[in-house]
Amino acid sequence: MNYILIGPPGAGKGTQAKKIVEKFEIIHLSTGDMFREAKKSDKVISRLLASGELVPDVIVVNIVKNCLLKYDVKKGFLLDGFPRTLNQTQELDIMLEKENVKIDGVLFIDLKLEEAIKRISSRRTCSCGASYNVEFFPPKQAGKCDVCNKDLIQRDDDKEEIVKNRLTVYENQTKPLIEYYKNKGLLIEIDGSKSESEVFKQICKSIKK
């Protein structure tokens, strides 16, 4: 089973992706995670992420291509955060055709932009990977991770001005993908305004094993 996960920043893609790959035992390819790792040693990537802009298509496409070659994609995969532009979508189609692999569905977690802003501004993360929301899912002790007790931080790109830019980038560059996949009959709409567990239930119901 091969799925794509798309949605605006703050829709809970990262959280749902972890649950999906664990339950269905498929490979998780998150371009956001790859670039967060890459920014530690690459100043250009670091600057792009800090501004909320997208990494150029040519870089993203190459990275995804290498990943798809490295893993046994026949086991099934979830693409999280890719594709994000129409050009990336077309490049992905070409890559998959070459490998004779098909996408079974595109999970689109839909969320109103005002709600996305509210969620992102109260999001906090820990370097161990745990994530919290000071309003809806606070840690037991304010500012500390429940898992490892380290200090929680706010992602640089979750700060207000950057969030606004990420949402504009999403509206202009990623939203057109929804129409593209709808026309291909692959779009699965998920109501992202519901609780984390309800969103996951909707996803599980729509996934064909």
Contacting positions for ligand AMP (CB under 6 A)? 9, 31-32, 35, 48-49, 52-55, 60, 81-82, 84, 88, 157, 166
Nearer Cβ to ligand AMP (137/165): 165
| Catalytically annotated residue among 18, 118, 155, 159 | 155
Minimum Å gap between C-beta 198 and ligand AMP is 22
Q: Residue 18 catalytic?
A: no
Q: Which is nearer to ligand AMP, 149 or 171 (CB)?
A: 171
Cα 209 from chain centre: 21
Q: Rounded CA gap, 56 and 54, in Å?
A: 6
The residue written with tokens 């996408």 in the block is: 103
Q: Which is nearer to ligand AMP, 47 or 201 (CB)?
A: 47
Alpha carbon 29 to its chain's center: 9
| Pairing relationship of beta strands 105-110 and 187-191 according to DSSP bridges | parallel
Q: Among 92, 99, 37, which Cα is nearest to 71's?
A: 99
- Which H/E stretch holds residue 13? helix 13-24
- Catalytic residue, chosen from 39, 119, 124, 166, is 166
When CB distances to ligand AMP are compared, the closest residue is 32
b/e map of 53-70 (b: 16 or more CB within 10 Å)? ebbebebbbebbeebbee
Residue 53 or 196: which CB sits closer to ligand AMP?
53
**Catalytic site residue from 13, 39, 119, 124:** 13
Find out whether 54 and 169 touch, Cβ atoms under 8 Å: yes
Q: Tell me if 12 sits within 8 A of 199, measured CB to CB.
A: yes
Q: Which is nearer to ligand AMP, 4 or 207 (CB)?
A: 4
Backbone angles phi, psi at 146, to 5 degrees: -65, -30
Quick check: is 155 catalytic?
Answer: yes
- The active-site residue out of 39, 119, 123, 124 is 123
CB of 172 to ligand AMP, least distance (A): 13
Instruction: Tell me the catalytic residues.
Output: 13, 84, 123, 155, 166
